[in-house]
Structure 1
Amino acid sequence: MNIAMNPVSATTQTAPAIEARSLNLTLGGKTLLDDFSLSLASGELTALLGPNGAGKSSLLKVLSGEADGGGTIHFFGQDRETYAPAMLARHLGVLPQHSNLTFAFTAREVVELGSLPLQLTKKDTQALATETMSRVDVLSLQDRLYPTLSGGEKQRVHLARVLTQLSHAGEQCILMLDEPTSALDLAHQHRTLQVARELARSGAAVIVVIHDLNLAAQYADRLVIINQGKVQADGTPWQALTPEIIQRVYGWPVHVSKHPTQDFPVVIPAG
Protein backbone atom coordinates (compact mmCIF):
# COMPACT_ATOMS: atom_id res chain seq x y z
CA MET A 1 0.00 0.00 0.00
CA ASN A 2 1.63 3.22 -1.17
CA ILE A 3 1.00 6.18 1.11
CA ALA A 4 2.64 8.79 -1.12
CA MET A 5 0.29 11.66 -1.90
CA ASN A 6 -0.80 12.28 -5.46
CA PRO A 7 0.79 15.30 -7.16
CA VAL A 8 -1.35 18.41 -6.87
CA SER A 9 -3.31 19.32 -9.97
CA ALA A 10 -3.10 22.98 -10.94
CA THR A 11 -6.70 22.86 -12.11
CA THR A 12 -8.16 21.38 -8.96
CA GLN A 13 -5.86 22.89 -6.36
CA THR A 14 -5.92 26.65 -6.84
CA ALA A 15 -6.51 27.85 -3.27
CA PRO A 16 -3.68 27.84 -0.70
CA ALA A 17 -3.56 24.80 1.54
CA ILE A 18 -3.76 27.14 4.55
CA GLU A 19 -4.89 30.75 4.50
CA ALA A 20 -4.86 32.39 7.94
CA ARG A 21 -5.72 36.04 8.47
CA SER A 22 -5.67 38.38 11.47
CA LEU A 23 -4.78 35.86 14.17
CA ASN A 24 -4.28 37.21 17.69
CA LEU A 25 -3.19 35.30 20.76
CA THR A 26 -2.07 36.51 24.18
CA LEU A 27 -1.04 34.14 26.98
CA GLY A 28 0.08 35.22 30.44
CA GLY A 29 0.18 38.82 29.32
CA LYS A 30 2.56 38.02 26.45
CA THR A 31 1.52 38.62 22.86
CA LEU A 32 2.30 35.54 20.80
CA LEU A 33 0.36 36.39 17.64
CA ASP A 34 -0.27 40.01 16.74
CA ASP A 35 -2.63 40.47 13.79
CA PHE A 36 -0.75 37.52 12.29
CA SER A 37 -1.41 36.31 8.73
CA LEU A 38 0.13 33.42 6.82
CA SER A 39 -0.51 31.53 3.60
CA LEU A 40 0.92 28.07 2.95
CA ALA A 41 0.99 26.25 -0.38
CA SER A 42 0.65 22.59 -1.21
CA GLY A 43 3.85 20.96 -2.33
CA GLU A 44 6.00 23.07 -0.03
CA LEU A 45 7.88 22.38 3.19
CA THR A 46 7.84 25.46 5.43
CA ALA A 47 10.05 25.69 8.52
CA LEU A 48 8.75 27.90 11.32
CA LEU A 49 11.64 29.44 13.25
CA GLY A 50 12.05 31.86 16.12
CA PRO A 51 13.36 32.22 19.69
CA ASN A 52 11.93 30.34 22.63
CA GLY A 53 8.47 31.65 23.42
CA ALA A 54 8.08 33.34 20.04
CA GLY A 55 4.73 31.63 19.43
CA LYS A 56 5.69 28.90 16.97
CA SER A 57 3.91 26.04 18.74
CA SER A 58 1.02 28.33 19.60
CA LEU A 59 0.60 29.14 15.93
CA LEU A 60 0.27 25.44 15.09
CA LYS A 61 -2.32 25.08 17.84
CA VAL A 62 -4.33 27.99 16.44
CA LEU A 63 -4.08 26.72 12.87
CA SER A 64 -5.19 23.22 13.88
CA GLY A 65 -8.05 24.46 16.08
CA GLU A 66 -6.57 23.45 19.41
CA ALA A 67 -6.38 27.12 20.48
CA ASP A 68 -8.53 30.09 19.55
CA GLY A 69 -6.71 32.91 17.83
CA GLY A 70 -9.73 34.60 16.29
CA GLY A 71 -9.32 35.77 12.71
CA THR A 72 -10.10 33.43 9.82
CA ILE A 73 -8.52 30.13 8.83
CA HIS A 74 -9.25 28.36 5.56
CA PHE A 75 -8.01 24.98 4.39
CA PHE A 76 -8.00 24.60 0.61
CA GLY A 77 -10.35 27.55 0.25
CA GLN A 78 -12.89 26.24 2.78
CA ASP A 79 -13.46 27.63 6.28
CA ARG A 80 -11.85 25.23 8.72
CA GLU A 81 -14.93 25.36 10.95
CA THR A 82 -17.09 23.85 8.20
CA TYR A 83 -15.10 20.62 8.07
CA ALA A 84 -16.70 17.67 9.81
CA PRO A 85 -14.22 16.31 12.40
CA ALA A 86 -13.90 12.94 10.67
CA MET A 87 -13.21 14.58 7.31
CA LEU A 88 -10.69 17.01 8.80
CA ALA A 89 -8.85 14.12 10.44
CA ARG A 90 -8.29 12.57 7.00
CA HIS A 91 -6.64 15.71 5.64
CA LEU A 92 -4.91 17.33 8.64
CA GLY A 93 -2.28 15.56 10.71
CA VAL A 94 -0.55 17.13 13.71
CA LEU A 95 2.51 15.78 15.50
CA PRO A 96 2.76 17.61 18.87
CA GLN A 97 5.93 18.10 20.87
CA HIS A 98 4.77 15.77 23.60
CA SER A 99 2.21 13.01 24.01
CA ASN A 100 0.21 12.31 27.17
CA LEU A 101 -0.47 8.71 26.13
CA THR A 102 0.15 6.44 29.12
CA PHE A 103 -1.83 3.32 28.22
CA ALA A 104 0.14 0.12 27.83
CA PHE A 105 -0.41 -0.08 24.07
CA THR A 106 2.23 -1.63 21.88
CA ALA A 107 3.98 0.65 19.42
CA ARG A 108 2.04 -1.01 16.58
CA GLU A 109 -1.27 -0.39 18.32
CA VAL A 110 -0.40 3.30 18.68
CA VAL A 111 0.38 3.54 14.97
CA GLU A 112 -2.82 1.71 14.06
CA LEU A 113 -4.80 4.35 15.96
CA GLY A 114 -4.06 6.59 13.00
CA SER A 115 -6.33 4.48 10.82
CA LEU A 116 -9.47 5.21 12.87
CA PRO A 117 -10.76 7.98 10.54
CA LEU A 118 -10.16 5.78 7.49
CA GLN A 119 -12.54 2.88 8.22
CA LEU A 120 -10.16 0.27 6.84
CA THR A 121 -10.32 -3.48 7.21
CA LYS A 122 -8.11 -5.04 9.84
CA LYS A 123 -5.88 -6.49 7.12
CA ASP A 124 -5.45 -3.14 5.37
CA THR A 125 -4.81 -1.39 8.70
CA GLN A 126 -2.07 -3.86 9.56
CA ALA A 127 -0.45 -3.51 6.12
CA LEU A 128 -0.56 0.27 6.29
CA ALA A 129 0.91 0.34 9.79
CA THR A 130 3.72 -1.95 8.68
CA GLU A 131 4.53 0.39 5.81
CA THR A 132 4.52 3.60 7.83
CA MET A 133 6.52 2.05 10.67
CA SER A 134 9.11 0.86 8.17
CA ARG A 135 9.24 4.31 6.63
CA VAL A 136 10.29 5.96 9.91
CA ASP A 137 12.37 3.02 11.17
CA VAL A 138 10.24 1.83 14.09
CA LEU A 139 9.06 -1.54 12.80
CA SER A 140 11.54 -3.26 15.10
CA LEU A 141 9.71 -1.62 18.02
CA GLN A 142 6.25 -2.85 17.04
CA ASP A 143 5.82 -5.23 19.98
CA ARG A 144 7.33 -2.93 22.60
CA LEU A 145 4.98 -1.27 25.08
CA TYR A 146 4.74 2.42 24.27
CA PRO A 147 5.49 3.70 27.83
CA THR A 148 8.82 1.82 27.78
CA LEU A 149 10.10 3.64 24.70
CA SER A 150 12.62 6.46 24.77
CA GLY A 151 11.53 10.00 23.93
CA GLY A 152 12.94 9.75 20.42
CA GLU A 153 11.33 6.38 19.81
CA LYS A 154 7.97 7.77 20.92
CA GLN A 155 8.36 10.69 18.52
CA ARG A 156 8.97 8.34 15.60
CA VAL A 157 6.08 6.06 16.56
CA HIS A 158 3.74 9.05 16.57
CA LEU A 159 5.10 10.18 13.23
CA ALA A 160 4.19 6.76 11.84
CA ARG A 161 0.71 7.18 13.38
CA VAL A 162 0.24 10.56 11.67
CA LEU A 163 1.47 9.17 8.33
CA THR A 164 -1.08 6.39 8.69
CA GLN A 165 -3.81 8.94 9.39
CA LEU A 166 -2.95 10.94 6.24
CA SER A 167 -2.48 7.97 3.93
CA HIS A 168 -5.82 8.62 2.17
CA ALA A 169 -5.62 12.42 2.09
CA GLY A 170 -5.11 12.56 -1.65
CA GLU A 171 -4.44 16.03 -3.05
CA GLN A 172 -5.60 17.85 0.08
CA CYS A 173 -3.06 17.04 2.77
CA ILE A 174 -1.66 19.18 5.58
CA LEU A 175 1.02 17.94 7.96
CA MET A 176 2.06 19.99 11.01
CA LEU A 177 5.14 18.88 12.94
CA ASP A 178 6.04 20.55 16.23
CA GLU A 179 9.75 20.08 16.94
CA PRO A 180 9.79 16.56 15.47
CA THR A 181 13.58 16.24 15.79
CA SER A 182 14.00 17.50 19.36
CA ALA A 183 14.65 14.06 20.90
CA LEU A 184 16.20 12.34 17.90
CA ASP A 185 19.74 11.27 17.15
CA LEU A 186 21.55 12.57 14.08
CA ALA A 187 20.44 9.88 11.64
CA HIS A 188 16.79 9.99 12.69
CA GLN A 189 16.73 13.78 12.61
CA HIS A 190 17.64 13.67 8.95
CA ARG A 191 15.38 10.71 8.16
CA THR A 192 12.39 12.46 9.73
CA LEU A 193 12.97 15.62 7.71
CA GLN A 194 13.55 13.56 4.57
CA VAL A 195 10.11 11.99 5.08
CA ALA A 196 8.60 15.44 5.60
CA ARG A 197 10.23 16.70 2.40
CA GLU A 198 9.09 13.63 0.46
CA LEU A 199 5.51 14.32 1.52
CA ALA A 200 5.82 17.92 0.40
CA ARG A 201 7.25 16.82 -2.95
CA SER A 202 4.26 14.54 -3.45
CA GLY A 203 1.80 17.38 -2.86
CA ALA A 204 1.33 17.89 0.87
CA ALA A 205 1.58 21.22 2.66
CA VAL A 206 4.10 20.60 5.44
CA ILE A 207 4.93 23.03 8.24
CA VAL A 208 7.67 22.16 10.72
CA VAL A 209 8.52 23.99 13.94
CA ILE A 210 12.25 23.59 14.44
CA HIS A 211 15.06 25.29 16.34
CA ASP A 212 18.04 24.04 14.35
CA LEU A 213 18.66 26.70 11.70
CA ASN A 214 20.94 24.45 9.67
CA LEU A 215 18.47 21.57 9.51
CA ALA A 216 15.80 24.05 8.44
CA ALA A 217 18.09 25.44 5.75
CA GLN A 218 18.89 21.99 4.42
CA TYR A 219 15.35 20.64 4.12
CA ALA A 220 12.84 23.49 3.93
CA ASP A 221 11.71 25.30 0.80
CA ARG A 222 10.61 28.31 2.82
CA LEU A 223 11.58 29.72 6.20
CA VAL A 224 9.21 31.86 8.25
CA ILE A 225 10.91 33.48 11.24
CA ILE A 226 8.59 34.91 13.88
CA ASN A 227 9.16 36.92 17.03
CA GLN A 228 7.01 39.16 19.20
CA GLY A 229 3.89 37.98 17.40
CA LYS A 230 4.96 39.03 13.92
CA VAL A 231 6.82 37.65 10.92
CA GLN A 232 10.42 38.86 10.96
CA ALA A 233 11.53 37.11 7.76
CA ASP A 234 9.82 34.99 5.11
CA GLY A 235 11.64 33.52 2.15
CA THR A 236 14.09 30.92 0.94
CA PRO A 237 16.84 29.80 3.32
CA TRP A 238 19.27 32.18 1.63
CA GLN A 239 16.81 35.08 1.98
CA ALA A 240 15.82 34.42 5.59
CA LEU A 241 19.09 33.32 7.17
CA THR A 242 21.22 36.42 6.88
CA PRO A 243 23.55 37.52 9.69
CA GLU A 244 21.52 40.72 10.09
CA ILE A 245 18.18 38.96 10.50
CA ILE A 246 19.58 36.33 12.87
CA GLN A 247 21.32 38.96 14.99
CA ARG A 248 18.13 41.03 15.20
CA VAL A 249 15.82 38.11 16.03
CA TYR A 250 18.05 35.93 18.20
CA GLY A 251 20.39 38.54 19.62
CA TRP A 252 23.53 36.61 18.68
CA PRO A 253 26.16 37.25 15.99
CA VAL A 254 26.69 34.58 13.34
CA HIS A 255 28.58 33.86 10.16
CA VAL A 256 26.64 32.46 7.22
CA SER A 257 28.43 30.51 4.50
CA LYS A 258 27.57 28.06 1.73
CA HIS A 259 27.57 24.35 2.52
CA PRO A 260 30.74 22.84 1.03
CA THR A 261 28.88 20.40 -1.25
CA GLN A 262 25.24 21.56 -1.39
CA ASP A 263 23.45 24.82 -2.12
CA PHE A 264 22.11 25.86 1.28
CA PRO A 265 23.42 28.26 3.92
CA VAL A 266 25.26 27.10 7.02
CA VAL A 267 24.94 29.22 10.16
CA ILE A 268 27.95 29.33 12.50
CA PRO A 269 27.78 31.22 15.81
CA ALA A 270 30.33 34.02 15.92
CA GLY A 271 30.20 34.84 19.61
Structure 2
Amino acid sequence: MWDRRISRKPSPCDISCKREWKIDRKDHSALDRHKWIEKQTDTASGAAYRQMNKRLERAQRTLDSLTVAAKRYDGDIWIDIRPSNRKELLHLTEGIIIFGSGRMTSSNDAARTPTQSILHADGHQWKVAHNPGMSGEKPRMPGVAIPKLSIGQQDHIGLTGANGLGKTTVMNALLDSMPEDLPHLIVQQQTGEAALSQTMRRLAALQGKERSQVLAAFAQLNADPDKLLSNEAPSPGELRKLMLCLGILDRPQLIVMDEPTNYLDLESKVALARCLADYPGALVVASHDEWFLDQVVR
Protein backbone atom coordinates (compact mmCIF):
# COMPACT_ATOMS: atom_id res chain seq x y z
CA MET A 1 0.00 0.00 0.00
CA TRP A 2 0.96 3.60 -0.41
CA ASP A 3 2.42 5.30 2.62
CA ARG A 4 -0.29 7.19 4.48
CA ARG A 5 1.68 10.38 4.10
CA ILE A 6 0.59 10.42 0.48
CA SER A 7 -2.58 12.46 0.26
CA ARG A 8 -3.36 11.87 -3.44
CA LYS A 9 -3.06 9.14 -6.02
CA PRO A 10 0.29 9.53 -7.77
CA SER A 11 0.82 9.62 -11.53
CA PRO A 12 3.45 7.49 -13.30
CA CYS A 13 5.66 10.57 -13.40
CA ASP A 14 5.26 10.95 -9.64
CA ILE A 15 6.25 7.32 -9.10
CA SER A 16 9.53 7.90 -10.90
CA CYS A 17 10.42 10.77 -8.62
CA LYS A 18 11.86 8.99 -5.56
CA ARG A 19 12.45 12.15 -3.62
CA GLU A 20 8.80 13.13 -3.81
CA TRP A 21 7.08 9.78 -3.27
CA LYS A 22 7.78 6.72 -1.06
CA ILE A 23 6.54 3.17 -1.65
CA ASP A 24 5.73 0.68 1.06
CA ARG A 25 8.44 -2.01 0.83
CA LYS A 26 5.83 -4.70 1.38
CA ASP A 27 3.75 -3.54 -1.59
CA HIS A 28 5.51 -5.68 -4.21
CA SER A 29 3.00 -4.79 -6.90
CA ALA A 30 3.71 -1.09 -6.48
CA LEU A 31 7.45 -1.75 -6.41
CA ASP A 32 7.25 -3.73 -9.66
CA ARG A 33 5.24 -0.98 -11.31
CA HIS A 34 7.78 1.57 -10.14
CA LYS A 35 10.70 -0.43 -11.56
CA TRP A 36 8.89 -0.90 -14.86
CA ILE A 37 8.13 2.82 -15.15
CA GLU A 38 11.74 3.71 -14.31
CA LYS A 39 12.97 1.33 -17.01
CA GLN A 40 10.58 2.79 -19.59
CA THR A 41 11.52 6.32 -18.58
CA ASP A 42 15.22 5.54 -18.86
CA THR A 43 14.68 3.94 -22.27
CA ALA A 44 12.64 6.90 -23.56
CA SER A 45 15.09 9.38 -22.07
CA GLY A 46 18.01 7.53 -23.63
CA ALA A 47 16.36 7.53 -27.06
CA ALA A 48 15.49 11.21 -26.76
CA TYR A 49 19.03 11.99 -25.64
CA ARG A 50 20.56 10.06 -28.53
CA GLN A 51 18.25 11.80 -31.00
CA MET A 52 19.09 15.20 -29.54
CA ASN A 53 22.79 14.37 -29.57
CA LYS A 54 22.63 13.46 -33.26
CA ARG A 55 20.93 16.77 -34.01
CA LEU A 56 23.59 18.63 -32.07
CA GLU A 57 26.32 16.77 -33.94
CA ARG A 58 24.75 17.66 -37.29
CA ALA A 59 24.38 21.28 -36.23
CA GLN A 60 28.00 21.36 -35.08
CA ARG A 61 29.20 19.93 -38.39
CA THR A 62 27.21 22.57 -40.25
CA LEU A 63 28.61 25.28 -37.99
CA ASP A 64 32.15 23.99 -38.45
CA SER A 65 31.81 23.98 -42.23
CA LEU A 66 30.36 27.48 -42.20
CA THR A 67 33.19 28.66 -39.95
CA VAL A 68 35.81 27.22 -42.29
CA ALA A 69 34.09 28.80 -45.29
CA ALA A 70 33.74 32.13 -43.53
CA LYS A 71 37.45 32.15 -42.72
CA ARG A 72 38.40 31.24 -46.27
CA TYR A 73 36.10 33.72 -47.98
CA ASP A 74 36.22 36.51 -45.42
CA GLY A 75 37.01 39.74 -47.25
CA ASP A 76 37.22 38.11 -50.71
CA ILE A 77 34.27 36.12 -51.95
CA TRP A 78 35.80 36.16 -55.43
CA ILE A 79 38.80 34.03 -54.42
CA ASP A 80 38.15 31.38 -57.10
CA ILE A 81 37.32 33.79 -59.95
CA ARG A 82 39.74 34.94 -62.65
CA PRO A 83 39.21 37.55 -65.41
CA SER A 84 38.59 36.40 -68.96
CA ASN A 85 41.54 35.87 -71.28
CA ARG A 86 39.69 37.97 -73.85
CA LYS A 87 40.78 41.60 -73.89
CA GLU A 88 37.33 42.75 -75.04
CA LEU A 89 34.11 41.13 -73.84
CA LEU A 90 31.39 43.42 -75.21
CA HIS A 91 31.44 45.77 -78.17
CA LEU A 92 29.01 48.08 -79.96
CA THR A 93 29.78 50.25 -82.96
CA GLU A 94 28.67 53.86 -83.20
CA GLY A 95 25.08 54.19 -84.30
CA ILE A 96 21.48 54.24 -83.11
CA ILE A 97 19.75 51.53 -81.08
CA ILE A 98 16.04 51.49 -81.88
CA PHE A 99 13.74 51.29 -78.85
CA GLY A 100 11.87 48.03 -78.52
CA SER A 101 13.57 46.08 -81.30
CA GLY A 102 17.18 46.65 -80.21
CA ARG A 103 18.09 46.98 -83.88
CA MET A 104 21.24 48.95 -84.63
CA THR A 105 21.56 51.50 -87.43
CA SER A 106 24.81 52.78 -88.89
CA SER A 107 26.94 55.67 -87.71
CA ASN A 108 25.87 57.60 -90.82
CA ASP A 109 22.26 57.45 -89.63
CA ALA A 110 23.36 58.61 -86.19
CA ALA A 111 25.12 61.62 -87.68
CA ARG A 112 22.18 62.85 -89.72
CA THR A 113 19.14 61.59 -87.78
CA PRO A 114 18.04 63.17 -84.49
CA THR A 115 17.12 60.67 -81.77
CA GLN A 116 15.09 60.93 -78.61
CA SER A 117 18.06 59.97 -76.43
CA ILE A 118 21.82 60.05 -76.53
CA LEU A 119 24.45 58.16 -74.54
CA HIS A 120 27.46 60.07 -73.20
CA ALA A 121 30.43 57.85 -72.33
CA ASP A 122 32.94 59.51 -70.01
CA GLY A 123 35.47 56.79 -69.35
CA HIS A 124 33.65 54.07 -67.43
CA GLN A 125 30.77 56.35 -66.46
CA TRP A 126 28.00 56.17 -69.06
CA LYS A 127 24.88 58.30 -68.97
CA VAL A 128 21.77 58.15 -71.16
CA ALA A 129 20.17 61.58 -71.48
CA HIS A 130 17.46 63.36 -73.44
CA ASN A 131 18.83 64.58 -76.76
CA PRO A 132 18.29 68.35 -76.84
CA GLY A 133 18.80 68.47 -80.62
CA MET A 134 18.16 71.62 -82.60
CA SER A 135 15.05 73.66 -83.27
CA GLY A 136 13.16 73.04 -86.48
CA GLU A 137 14.28 69.42 -86.80
CA LYS A 138 12.18 66.67 -88.29
CA PRO A 139 10.53 64.16 -85.91
CA ARG A 140 13.05 62.28 -83.82
CA MET A 141 13.85 58.61 -84.22
CA PRO A 142 12.64 56.52 -81.23
CA GLY A 143 16.03 55.31 -80.11
CA VAL A 144 19.30 56.18 -78.40
CA ALA A 145 22.38 57.39 -80.24
CA ILE A 146 25.59 55.82 -78.95
CA PRO A 147 29.30 56.26 -79.60
CA LYS A 148 31.57 53.25 -80.07
CA LEU A 149 31.35 51.21 -76.84
CA SER A 150 33.80 48.61 -75.58
CA ILE A 151 34.04 46.68 -72.31
CA GLY A 152 37.31 45.00 -71.40
CA GLN A 153 38.04 41.98 -69.23
CA GLN A 154 38.24 43.97 -65.96
CA ASP A 155 36.26 47.12 -66.76
CA HIS A 156 33.62 48.21 -64.26
CA ILE A 157 30.99 50.26 -66.10
CA GLY A 158 28.31 52.40 -64.49
CA LEU A 159 25.21 53.18 -66.58
CA THR A 160 22.80 55.83 -65.37
CA GLY A 161 20.02 58.04 -66.68
CA ALA A 162 16.36 58.87 -66.16
CA ASN A 163 13.73 56.19 -66.67
CA GLY A 164 12.45 55.77 -70.22
CA LEU A 165 15.51 57.15 -71.98
CA GLY A 166 17.08 53.86 -73.01
CA LYS A 167 19.24 52.31 -70.27
CA THR A 168 17.60 48.92 -70.73
CA THR A 169 17.87 49.28 -74.51
CA VAL A 170 21.62 49.84 -74.25
CA MET A 171 22.03 46.98 -71.77
CA ASN A 172 20.18 44.55 -74.03
CA ALA A 173 22.23 45.58 -77.06
CA LEU A 174 25.44 45.02 -75.11
CA LEU A 175 24.30 41.57 -74.01
CA ASP A 176 23.43 40.69 -77.61
CA SER A 177 27.10 41.27 -78.45
CA MET A 178 28.31 38.88 -75.73
CA PRO A 179 30.16 35.72 -76.81
CA GLU A 180 28.02 32.64 -76.20
CA ASP A 181 30.76 30.83 -74.29
CA LEU A 182 31.48 33.68 -71.85
CA PRO A 183 30.68 32.71 -68.22
CA HIS A 184 28.36 35.44 -67.01
CA LEU A 185 25.75 36.37 -64.42
CA ILE A 186 22.76 38.65 -64.98
CA VAL A 187 20.72 39.88 -62.01
CA GLN A 188 17.57 41.64 -63.17
CA GLN A 189 15.82 44.48 -61.35
CA GLN A 190 12.54 42.59 -61.09
CA THR A 191 12.48 39.04 -59.71
CA GLY A 192 9.25 37.05 -59.79
CA GLU A 193 8.01 33.76 -58.37
CA ALA A 194 9.82 31.74 -61.03
CA ALA A 195 13.18 33.29 -60.11
CA LEU A 196 12.49 32.75 -56.40
CA SER A 197 11.57 29.10 -56.90
CA GLN A 198 14.56 28.38 -59.13
CA THR A 199 16.98 30.11 -56.76
CA MET A 200 15.72 28.31 -53.66
CA ARG A 201 15.82 24.94 -55.44
CA ARG A 202 19.42 25.50 -56.40
CA LEU A 203 20.35 26.45 -52.84
CA ALA A 204 18.60 23.36 -51.45
CA ALA A 205 20.54 21.12 -53.84
CA LEU A 206 23.95 22.39 -52.70
CA GLN A 207 26.11 20.27 -50.44
CA GLY A 208 29.24 20.71 -48.35
CA LYS A 209 31.78 23.27 -49.48
CA GLU A 210 29.57 24.97 -52.08
CA ARG A 211 26.69 25.44 -49.64
CA SER A 212 29.08 26.84 -47.04
CA GLN A 213 30.62 29.20 -49.58
CA VAL A 214 27.24 30.59 -50.64
CA LEU A 215 26.06 31.10 -47.05
CA ALA A 216 29.35 32.75 -46.07
CA ALA A 217 29.13 35.13 -49.04
CA PHE A 218 25.47 35.83 -48.21
CA ALA A 219 26.50 36.80 -44.68
CA GLN A 220 29.14 39.19 -46.03
CA LEU A 221 26.40 41.04 -47.90
CA ASN A 222 24.75 41.94 -44.58
CA ALA A 223 22.21 39.12 -44.81
CA ASP A 224 21.25 36.36 -42.38
CA PRO A 225 22.12 32.78 -43.49
CA ASP A 226 19.97 31.37 -40.67
CA LYS A 227 16.93 32.73 -42.47
CA LEU A 228 17.80 30.61 -45.50
CA LEU A 229 18.54 27.54 -43.38
CA SER A 230 15.10 27.81 -41.78
CA ASN A 231 13.50 27.79 -45.27
CA GLU A 232 12.08 31.27 -44.74
CA ALA A 233 11.40 33.05 -48.04
CA PRO A 234 13.90 35.86 -48.69
CA SER A 235 12.81 39.43 -49.35
CA PRO A 236 13.34 40.87 -52.89
CA GLY A 237 16.62 42.45 -51.79
CA GLU A 238 17.78 39.24 -50.11
CA LEU A 239 16.80 37.20 -53.14
CA ARG A 240 19.04 39.23 -55.42
CA LYS A 241 21.89 38.93 -52.93
CA LEU A 242 21.37 35.18 -52.95
CA MET A 243 21.29 35.10 -56.75
CA LEU A 244 24.64 36.89 -56.77
CA CYS A 245 26.12 34.48 -54.21
CA LEU A 246 24.90 31.43 -56.12
CA GLY A 247 26.23 32.92 -59.34
CA ILE A 248 29.71 33.02 -57.80
CA LEU A 249 29.79 29.22 -58.03
CA ASP A 250 29.73 29.52 -61.84
CA ARG A 251 32.88 31.71 -61.77
CA PRO A 252 31.41 34.46 -63.99
CA GLN A 253 33.80 36.64 -65.97
CA LEU A 254 31.05 39.21 -66.55
CA ILE A 255 28.36 40.38 -64.11
CA VAL A 256 25.45 42.59 -65.17
CA MET A 257 23.15 44.05 -62.52
CA ASP A 258 20.11 46.27 -63.02
CA GLU A 259 19.33 48.64 -60.12
CA PRO A 260 21.05 46.42 -57.50
CA THR A 261 20.44 48.85 -54.61
CA ASN A 262 16.65 48.61 -54.82
CA TYR A 263 15.16 47.21 -51.58
CA LEU A 264 18.50 47.53 -49.74
CA ASP A 265 19.12 49.42 -46.50
CA LEU A 266 22.25 51.54 -46.10
CA GLU A 267 24.39 48.83 -44.50
CA SER A 268 23.48 46.32 -47.19
CA LYS A 269 24.21 48.87 -49.91
CA VAL A 270 27.66 49.55 -48.45
CA ALA A 271 28.38 45.82 -48.17
CA LEU A 272 27.32 45.17 -51.78
CA ALA A 273 29.37 48.11 -53.07
CA ARG A 274 32.46 46.84 -51.28
CA CYS A 275 31.88 43.37 -52.69
CA LEU A 276 31.39 44.47 -56.31
CA ALA A 277 34.33 46.89 -56.17
CA ASP A 278 36.61 43.90 -55.50
CA TYR A 279 35.20 41.79 -58.32
CA PRO A 280 38.13 40.92 -60.64
CA GLY A 281 36.06 40.49 -63.81
CA ALA A 282 34.01 42.84 -65.99
CA LEU A 283 31.00 44.52 -64.38
CA VAL A 284 28.10 46.52 -65.80
CA VAL A 285 25.77 48.17 -63.29
CA ALA A 286 22.70 50.20 -64.22
CA SER A 287 21.66 52.41 -61.32
CA HIS A 288 20.27 55.79 -60.30
CA ASP A 289 22.42 55.70 -57.17
CA GLU A 290 25.43 57.91 -57.94
CA TRP A 291 27.18 57.12 -54.64
CA PHE A 292 26.95 53.41 -55.36
CA LEU A 293 28.31 53.81 -58.89
CA ASP A 294 31.22 55.88 -57.59
CA GLN A 295 32.17 52.95 -55.35
CA VAL A 296 32.06 50.17 -57.95
CA VAL A 297 33.11 51.85 -61.21
CA ARG A 298 36.77 51.74 -62.23
Q: TM-score, normalised by structure 1?
A: 0.56
CA-CA distance at 1:209 after TM superposition? 0.7
* Residues 185 and 153 (structure 1), Cα distance of their counterparts in 2 relative to 1, 3 Å cut: same
Establish whether residue 197 from structure 1 lines up as the match of residue 265 from structure 2: no
**What is the aligned counterpart of 2:188 among 62, 73, 96?**
96
Q: Which of 123, 140, 146 lines up with 2:226 in the alignment?
A: 140
The verdict on how the C-alpha distance between 1:109 and 1:125 changes in structure 2, with shifts beyond 3 A counting, is: farther
Could you tell me which amino acid in structure 2 is paired with residue 18 of structure 1? L
User: What residue number does 2:100 align with?
Assistant: 27
Distance 1:103 1:92 in 2: 17
Alignment pair present for 1:159 and 2:244: yes
Q: Which runs of 5+ in 1 are unaligned?
A: 66-72, 116-121, 222-271
**Residue in 1 that maps onto 2:87:** 15
Deviation at 1:112, TM superposition (A): 6.3
Which among 258, 277, 284 is matched to residue 178 of structure 1?
A: 258
Distance 2:256 2:275 in 1: 13
TM-fit CA distance, 1:157: 2.0
- The Cα of 1:191 is off from its aligned counterpart by 0.9
Partners of 2:85 and 2:275 in 1: CA distance: 22
Distance 2:236 2:276 in 1: 19
Q: Could you say which structure has the greater relative contact order, defined with CA pairs below 8 angstroms and 6 or more residues apart?
A: 1
Q: Does the Cα contact within 8 Å between 1:46 and 1:208 map onto a contact in 2?
A: yes
CA-to-partner distance for each residue in 1:94-145, whole Å, 9 max, x for gaps? 01001123587597545468x8xxxxxx444423433432332432321355
Q: 1:190 is paired with a residue of what secondary structure? A: helix
Structure label with greater radius of gyration: 2
Shift in CA distance, 16/177, structure 1 to aligned 2, threshold 3 Å: same
Q: Identity across aligned pairs (percent)?
A: 15
More helix by share: 2
Do residues 64 (structure 1) and 175 (structure 2) align?
Answer: yes
Contact 1:104–1:145 (CA under 8 A) maintained in structure 2: no
Question: Shift of the alpha carbon at 1:178?
Answer: 0.5
Residue ranges of structure 2 left out of the alignment (5+ in a row): 1-68, 102-115, 117-140
- 1:14–1:99 CA distance, 2 compared to 1 (3 A): closer
- Judging changes above 3 Å, is the alpha-carbon distance between structure 1 residues 15 and 103 closer, same or farther for their aligned structure 2 residues? closer
TM-score by length of 2: 0.51
Q: CA RMSD in A?
A: 3.3
Contact 1:111 1:160 survives alignment (8 Å) = no
2:162 to 51, 55, 63: 51
Residue aligned with 2:190, SS = coil
Residue 245 of structure 2: SS of its match in structure 1? helix
Per the alignment, residue 40 of structure 1 pairs with 151
Supply the distance in 2 between the matched residues of 1:103 and 1:20 (Cα, whole angstroms).
29
Q: Which secondary structure does the structure 1 equivalent of 2:278 belong to?
A: helix
Task: Give me the whole-angstrom Cα distance separating, in 1, the residues matched to 2:284 and 2:89.
Answer: 11
Q: Is the 8 A contact 1:174 1:206 kept in 2?
A: yes
